[in-house]
Chain A
Amino acid sequence: MTPRSIGLDLARRDGPAKVTGTATYAYETAVDRPAYCHPVQATIARGRVTRLDTAAAEALPGVLAVLTEANAERLASTEDGELAVLQSAEVAFRGQLIGCVVAETSETARQAADLVEVAYAEEDHETELTADGDYDAETTGDVETAFAEADFAVDQTYTTAMYHNNPMEPHATTALWADGTLTLWESTQGVHPTRAKVAEVFGLDTERIRVICPYVGGGFGSKGLPHANVVLAAMAARVLPGRPVKLAVTRQQMFSLTGYRTPTIQRARLAADRSGRLSAIAFDVAEQTARVKEFAEQSGKPSRTMYAAPNRRVAHRLAALDVPVTSWMRAPGECPGMFGPEVAMDELADRLGLDPIELRLINDPAEDPESGKPFSSRNLAECLRTGAERFGWADRGPRREGRWLVGCGVAASVYPVNRMPESTAVIRFSGGRYTVDIGAADLGTGTWTTLPQIAADALGVPVDEVEVRIGDTAYPNASVAGGSSGMITWGSAVLDAAAVFREKFGTDPADGDEAEGSVSENPEQENFAMSAFGAQFAEARVHADTGEVRVPRMHGVFAVGRVINPRTTRSQLTGGMTMGLSMALHEQSVLDPRFGHVVNHDLAEYHVAANADAGQITAEWLDEHDPHVNAMGAKGVGEIGIVGAAAAVVNAVYRATGVRVRDLPVTLDKLLPGLSPGPAL
């Protein structure tokens, strides 16, 4: 395949529909006589509902149904505790669904939900993560001896906060149960995975469920797995056959119902000789999961593969607490897991008196330390060197500009190349054009635009002659947009379909000719370790009097294989970096352990970086050729941009101030005690 359309800087095909407001999102789906569903949520963290009085709610004019554990249908499967909605009177976390009201208007539904009276038998709850407890450790070599004999060592504890995905479009569903078929217009990162899960939970054949989602207003992982709201919407629709039911999760409700990233407590230890060569890496991380459903954030993963060291330990502790369900958030595992270790590398460089880039270059492994396999491509060193030049690393401070203390920091990024062995594409020729059908998702990532680029090259035709249809289970099965695997997976299926098509019909097909292709495991995985790499640079300015932190510029250099579309790629990378900046300086879900819920549960109090916080954030990529990852030579770009970004910012703040903050976010109260206010020197 010769890349002709691949690599073109094409504007988003869905752009005009989005900016003119004609792109239809799940909640906006035009349906006849919709009813509206509003959840009732538990206000205790653990215990049992003893009484649910729905009389006042039912008496409200316009109320169509009130569902509770007492009258809700029994689900076919309650194996997934998050989705076992209204199946028991037990309360496993504050904010859990304990009922819902369906009404003629959303206002009536919301008012009636407030009228449901609930009594509880409350039990003591535990919602606070601690580092104490049992760890599952994997060890190679003799870590403790290496530390005992090391010339230099770093042994520090770092923490990342609890984070909530806050896409612009909150989770929303329009559900219609009619003629024995359930239709869900759902904001999701995967129509087929959602369908499969809903089918399992309700005990329905997948043929009886259709999930439609042409556009998503952001997901970042929070829409990768169906959450309880989908089940509730489907339940509500089943009690009103023939009437569509709409359920929009409110911003506040998202903080208990639609997943979040666990807080982490990380102990990172590095041992090195005088030259900076690492002899041991040890990384112990404590995380939480909900009692109701286990989800283990794989934060130790990147430490296994990042740097060479003969002695290694990675240990996880997963504490089951009375908290909402943890789930995917951009780069689960790698994002929190590259925070502590990449700050520890900076601390080690500082102690050694080495440039932190040099320290990383010294320890750049020739092969994957975990598997011993060669890397299909590993250009971390080149990313660091190129970035240093572009960013002006030589001039990294510290220096003082008026009242501002200025310094720069660096950190590395990594994200594995993932491919799902599941997706099918159908290519059809009609009216002189090719149409590709695949149930893929575009959650703002660019699929509407990039998939045609791949198809065009696979078919050897101009991109204008290719149309794609995605976001509907009416099209062939597609995997979830998650793990930065979407484009790799769906693109591979499209490549296969194009090959089959050309083999069957040649280059001069007849109207109506159609071929199907799919994707399998990458056999090269047996031979190679495969990851994307990057280097992130940040400049921090800290106000000497107030400790306010500003980051005027960040630059990322990434090695992500062949880039399908520079415009959407840049958007993904800088978007990830911006989220990383936000993690470094702002984001923090404050869980009040007395109540068991996040109390800063809206966008006024849960701060994400706003325009004024995001300065000049730029990304570039190396001209990397990797024939092993897939026929396109492309690696995923959705998540690597956030990995390492927070560490780069924290390292920059240290360079500027001499104050090492190890607990995110870096807020001014953590810097103030280490600053010297007063008149300019």
Chain B
Amino acid sequence: MEPFDYRRPGDAATAVRTVAADPSAVFLGGGTNLVDHLKLGVASPGLVVDVTSLTSSEISDHDGGLRIGAAVRNSDLAADRRVRERYPMLARALLAGASGQLRNMATTGGNPLQRTRCVYFQDVTTPCNKRSPGSGCSAIGGYTRYHAVLGASPECIATHPSDLAVALTALDAEVQVLGPVGERTIGFGELHRLPGDRPDRDTVLEHGELITAIDLPEAPIAVNSTYRKVRDRASYAFALVSVAAALRVENGIVRDSRIAFGGVAHKPWRATRAEEVLLDAPATEATYRQAAEAELADAVAVDGIDGGNGFKLPLLVNTLAATLRDLTGEAK
């Protein structure tokens, strides 16, 4: 760990200006990921700007939906009655993530910005294009159990670890951002990038841009929604695959759906092809499996130590089908 300066400005605008002015500066939210990275040498900022008290920690009604302040802790968000009733997939995604202690620390603004848990990214003794651009990807040919099957590149096959972000993608959330030149709104699905040849860039945020709030649009469909996370132990593990899904079925026909996958790509994966297959199709097991298979048409399994990640393809088909089956049952 290298020494760094620490500042706690009086307001968000000052924090943004401070970080924007210093290429070595970073924002500190709950710190559940950054502090690990400081210790491991994965991150070595010159300046840490604490923003935990600079954005709202309130959840408020907003345009028929909800506005979630960036400082709202994961545990508070999961416990909010409006979230649990109107966006159950979001509450379930939050509770599927991390541990109680971590959820008490992690923030709404910080959680989607956590970095991959690829073991090579976190180990500075191994090459990693995301950590040290141009050094190579150790995961390719290595331990790929948790790695991407969709949207990867020859430079990087990492996955995004956030559960919250998968639900926010499915819900078409919007990200309110404050930058050095003012405010802007980013669709949650556009926040994260695919790796391409710049795997070091996780998101489209410019240096110094700060998430101030995340908005959930009004979404009646989300009342019938859930989050299913499949992992290697019953709690406190990252997803092998996860599914955030909302479903509206009328008279045995799927009239609308929102689906996103976690654990399969460099970003939370909005399953638009699956949604297209589902639209106006019979609400049957066959349709659900077809929808999953359509979304996985371009999927690529990666061989590796301990068998690689090819199992994720059938697992995702089964998990989506099972999740939609459950939601169909609840819709009846």
Contact = CB atoms under 8 A, between A and B. Distances in A.
Q: Do A and B originate from a single complex?
A: yes
A337 to B, nearest CB: 23
Contacts of A155: none
A672 B142 contact: no
B294 interface: no
A613 B143 contact: no
A594 interface: yes
Given A599-B143, A605-B119, A668 B230 contact: yes
Contacts of A669: 307, 311, 315
B234 interface: yes
A679 B325 contact: yes
A169 interface: no
A672 B309 CA distance: 13
Contacts of A677: 318, 321-322
B2 interface: yes
Contact of A672 (B1, B138, B315): B315
A610 B2 contact: no
B285 A678 contact: yes
Interface stretch (A131-139, A238-246, A540-548): A540-548
A610 B41 CA distance: 28
A104 to B, nearest CB: 13
Interface in B216-258: 230-238, 240
Contacts of A607: 232-233, 237
A613 B233 contact: yes
Contacts of A605: 117, 119
Contacts of B311: 668-669, 672
Contact of B319 (A546, A586, A597, A611): A546
Nearest to B237: A607
B282 to A, nearest CB: 14
Contact of B235 (A252, A590, A610, A672): A610
Contact of A590 (B1, B2, B233, B306): B306
A585 B3 contact: no
B174 to A, nearest CB: 31
A148 interface: no
A667 B233 CA distance: 9
B234 A107 contact: no
A677 B143 CA distance: 27
Contacts, number: 96
Interface stretch (B56-64, B120-128, B176-184): B120-128
Nearest to A43: B125
A144 interface: no
A588 B318 CA distance: 26
A114 B41 CA distance: 9
Nearest to B308: A669
A607 B233 CA distance: 8
Contacts of A609: 233
A545 B307 contact: no
Interface centre among B41, B125, B231 (most CB of A within 10 A): B125
Contacts of A585: 233
A604 interface: yes
B285 A679 contact: yes
Contact of B232 (A590, A592, A667, A673): A667
Interface centre among B142, B143, B234 (most CB of A within 10 A): B234
Given A546-B318, A672-B315, A599 B142 contact: yes
Provide the main secondary structure of the chain B interface. loop
Interface string B174-214: 00000000000000000000000000000000000000000
B13 interface: no
A590 B119 CA distance: 10
A545 B322 contact: yes
Contacts of A114: 2, 41
A111 B142 CA distance: 28
A403 interface: yes
Contacts of A548: 230-231
Contact of B322 (A252, A403, A550, A590): A403
A679 B138 CA distance: 40
Given A43-B125, A111-B3, A600-B119, A592 B142 contact: yes
Contacts of B138: 592, 594-595
Interface in A65-90: none
Interface string A395-422: 0000000010000000000000000000
B23 interface: no
B79 interface: no
Interface in A555-612: 585-586, 588, 590, 592-595, 597, 599-602, 604-605, 607, 609-612
A110 interface: yes
B314 interface: yes
Interface centre among A546, A590, A612, A668 (most CB of B within 10 A): A546
B141 interface: yes
Interface string A652-681: 000000000000000111001100011100
A599 B119 contact: yes
A668 B315 contact: yes
Interface in B267-320: 285, 305-307, 311, 314-315, 318-319
A260 B203 CA distance: 39
B319 A595 contact: no
Contacts of B143: 590, 592, 599-600
A107 B235 CA distance: 32
A612 B234 contact: yes
Nearest to A115: B2
A333 to B, nearest CB: 25
Contacts of B305: 590, 592-593
Contacts of B240: 668
B226 to A, nearest CB: 14
A533 B306 CA distance: 34
B229 to A, nearest CB: 10
Nearest to A667: B232
Contacts of B122: 602
B223 to A, nearest CB: 23
Given A669-B307, A678-B285, A111 B234 contact: no
B306 A613 contact: no
A545 B319 contact: yes
Contact of A612 (B1, B126, B233, B315): B233
Nearest to B231: A548
A673 B235 CA distance: 24
A593 B304 CA distance: 11
A612 B40 CA distance: 28
A607 B238 CA distance: 11
Nearest to B127: A595
A110 B3 CA distance: 11
B125 A610 contact: no
A546 B322 contact: yes
Contacts of A546: 230, 315, 318-319, 322
A597 B143 CA distance: 12
Contact of B123 (A545, A547, A599, A673): A599
Given A114-B41, A546-B315, A594 B236 contact: no
A593 B230 CA distance: 28
Contacts of A403: 322
Interface centre among B120, B232, B321 (most CB of A within 10 A): B232
Given A599-B142, A668-B240, A107 B318 contact: no
Interface string B124-151: 0110000000000010011100000000
Given A610-B235, A610-B236, A110 B1 contact: yes
A667 B2 CA distance: 39
B233 A610 contact: yes
Nearest to A665: B232
Nearest to A585: B233
A545 B232 CA distance: 15
Contacts of B321: 545, 677-678
Interface string A226-244: 0000000000000000000
11 contacts: A111-B1, A114-B2, A548-B230, A594-B141, A595-B126, A599-B120, A602-B122, A605-B117, A669-B311, A672-B315, A672-B318
Given A610-B233, A612-B234, A679-B285, 5 more contacts: A548-B231, A590-B305, A605-B117, A667-B232, A672-B314
